[in-house]
Structure 1
Amino acid sequence: MHVYLIAGAAVWGTAAGLLLPRAAYRLAVPAEEPWAAVCPAGHPVGGWFGPARCGRCPEGRRRHGAGAGAALGCALVCAALAWRLGGHPELAVWLLLVPVGGVLARVDLAVHRLPDVLTLPALGLTALLLAGAALLPSAHGSWTRALLAAAVLGVLYAVLFFVNPAGMGFGDVKLAPTLGLVLGWYGWGAVVTGTFAGFLLGALVGLVLIATRRATRKTAMPFGPFMLAGALAALLA
């Protein structure tokens, strides 16, 4: 049964990964600008799901057609979560969050922002779905603790933002409570591990970029992908 669960999670991840590139491309615009509606050459890009490549121009295929990588990444993450967590009901919540996290990571890497249109609904829906999961007998976590952890991480990141706005975006502050829900579901140890792992990964990558002269101490880095990677590492640990 566990093998079928892993396989089903991988299929879901593949399908979701193939559908997210267009949304990531359309959302990857600077703040205060409307969502992208055309390819770099000006051809219309409609809808939100599917590949982002433009069949009319080679430039669009080169820059925005990398759906295979997204599908593979989502499939591996979903399969790993299913392997590690088994048939507990909260697994369904995590599988729904994986493509959302994938889009957020791609957008943050592209334009250094985490759109409210994803971070805020993700927070509300995660809290709601975990409330439902907590009612099931096979649930393996605490909804109350998840809410407390969401509040704690939200306050922590807000303080860090106001202390050093140049070092952290407000989108990171809005993403933090959702990760608090995910990690707090399993315990405060997971909250500490996931948060620390995110900062550690960010610091290590920053040091490597500085050492290879691809960045300086003042170079802005998107922190959302590291937050997501740290949370994933804590779940798998």
Structure 2
Amino acid sequence: MVPLIALLFGLAVGSFLNVVIHRVPRQESVVRPASRCPGCGRPIRSRHNMPVVGWLLLRGRCADCGAPISVRYPLVELGTGLLFAALAWRLERLDQLPALPAYLWFAAAGLALALIDLELRILPNAIVLPSYPVVAVLLTASAAWQQEWWPLARAGLGAVALFGFFLLLVLVAPAGMGWGDVKLAGLIGAVLGYLSWSALVIGGFGAFVLGAVVGVAVLATGRGGRRTAIPFGPFMIAAALLAIFFAEPVAAAWTRLPA
């Protein structure tokens, strides 16, 4: 039941994320004006604002001018819904449902940041920095509800550790990483540290593995060279989300390996 509710909630959040992804990098309000066609500027009708269904009804085109509407919009909505449902299922299995709001916030912010970084090579402070107090409050509420304070302390230690590690990297090799990645690292350290040390380690360093794999693929397919700039934020977010689901079985498999 909880994953289904999370799915429906995620579809609605995904619709809002489309607004965030488009407007935040342009320093525009995400509240006003209402959603409108980027071609003719006419407001989107309420019946066409339904997540995924509205785009299908319109067949991917504006109802007024017929301009094409990117398939990214329904994909973001559907992707957010499915991710929310998966997180609800996973945290329910981990007996961590009180922490679900924190992870839904992180997932929504992460999706927006990943898509903005892929398109514009930036991780806006307007999304990253407010996420720190929001996640801190939500994780604190979760710890208080469960009367378990060690996960919260571990989250704080994880945030400091991953932030410090990325800060060291950017100071040693400033050309290889941006300050936005450093600020994002602290947030990732908190959400992964709250779950376990293994989630923190696997999620924190998994980004480098994913980045290396994609970098090799880009070189092998001839779609770029050694100097091709690839944003690192999406790898950080993808690795963090994967760690939420797979850190526990990966860590267990690692401990069973022969010495």
TM bin (shorter chain) = 0.7 to 0.9
TM-score w.r.t. the length of structure 2 is 0.77
Between Structure 1 and Structure 2, whose CA radius of gyration is higher? Answer: 2
Aligned partner of 1:106 among 115, 123, 130: 115
Instruction: Using structure 1 for the length normalisation, give the TM-score.
Output: 0.84
Q: How does 1:59-138 map to 2 (within 5 A)?
A: 61-63=68-70, 66-86=72-92, 88-137=97-146
User: How far apart are the structure 1 equivalents of 2:149 and 2:156?
Assistant: 15
Q: 1:214 to 1:35 in 2, by over 3 A?
A: farther
Distance (Å, rounded) in 2 between the aligned partners of 1:40 and 1:215: 31
Superposed counterparts of 1:1-40, under 5 Å: 4-29=1-26, 34-35=27-28
Letter in 2 for 1:149: G
**Alpha carbons 1:123, 1:178 under 8 Å: kept:** yes
Structure 2's unaligned 5+ residue stretches are 52-59, 247-259
The answer as to whether partners of 1:20 and 1:103 remain within 8 angstroms in 2 is yes
- Cα distance in 1, alignment partners of residues 40 and 230 from structure 2: 29
User: CA 1:119–1:44 in 2, change beyond 3 Å: closer, same or farther?
Assistant: farther
| Superposed CA RMSD | 2.7
Is the CA contact 1:150–1:177 (under 8 Å) kept in the aligned structure 2?
Answer: yes
Kindly state the Cα deviation for residue 43 of structure 1 after the two structures are TM-superposed.
4.5
Q: Which residue is 1:232 aligned to?
A: 241
Identical positions, percent: 38
- Unpaired segments of 5 or more residues in structure 1? none
Question: How far apart are the structure 2 equivalents of 1:119 and 1:126?
Answer: 11
- Take 1:216 and 1:159, find their aligned partners in 2: how far apart are those partners? 26
- Secondary structure at the aligned position of 1:216 is classed as coil
Letter in 2 for 1:90: A
Task: Provide, for residues 177-227 of structure 1, a one-character-per-residue CA deviation record: whole Å limited to 9, x for no partner.
Answer: 111110110222111110121111111111111111111111111111111
Q: Deviations for 1:79-131, whole angstroms, at most 9, x for unmatched residues?
A: 11111110620112111222111111110011011000010000121112111
Q: In the alignment, which residue of structure 2 is the partner of 1:156?
A: 165
**2:18 and 2:73 in contact (8 A); partners too:** yes
Read off the aligned partner of 1:66 and give its amino acid letter: R
Contact 1:141 1:186 in 2 (8 A): no
Would the aligned equivalents of 2:3 and 2:89 in 1 still touch at CA under 8 Å?
A: yes
- How many angstroms does 1:166 deviate by? 1.8
CA shift for structure 1 position 28: 3.7
Q: CA shift at 1:27, angstroms?
A: 2.6
Is the 1:17–1:70 Cα contact (8 Å) retained in structure 2?
Answer: yes
Q: Distance between the aligned counterparts of 1:73 and 1:139, measured in 2?
A: 32
User: What secondary structure is seen at the aligned counterpart in 1 of 2:209?
Assistant: helix
Which position in structure 1 is the counterpart of 2:213? 204
Aligned to 2:254: none
Q: Paired residues, what number?
A: 225
Separation (CA, whole Å) in 2 of partners of 1:140 and 1:234: 22
Which of 168, 188, 195 does residue 179 from structure 1 map onto?
A: 188
Letter in 1 for 2:127: L
Q: Distance in 1 between matches of 2:223 and 2:215?
A: 9
Letter in 2 for 1:189: S
- Contact 2:163–2:186 (CA under 8 A) maintained in structure 1: yes
Shift of 1:45: 8.8
CA distance 1:137–1:7, shift in 2 (3 Å): same
Q: Once superposed, which parts of structure 1, at least 4 consecutive aligned residues long, lie more than 3 Å away?
A: 34-46, 53-59, 138-141
Equivalent residue of 1:136, what SS? helix
Indicate how the Cα distance of structure 1 residues 138 and 9 shifts in structure 2: closer, same or farther if over 3 A, else same: farther
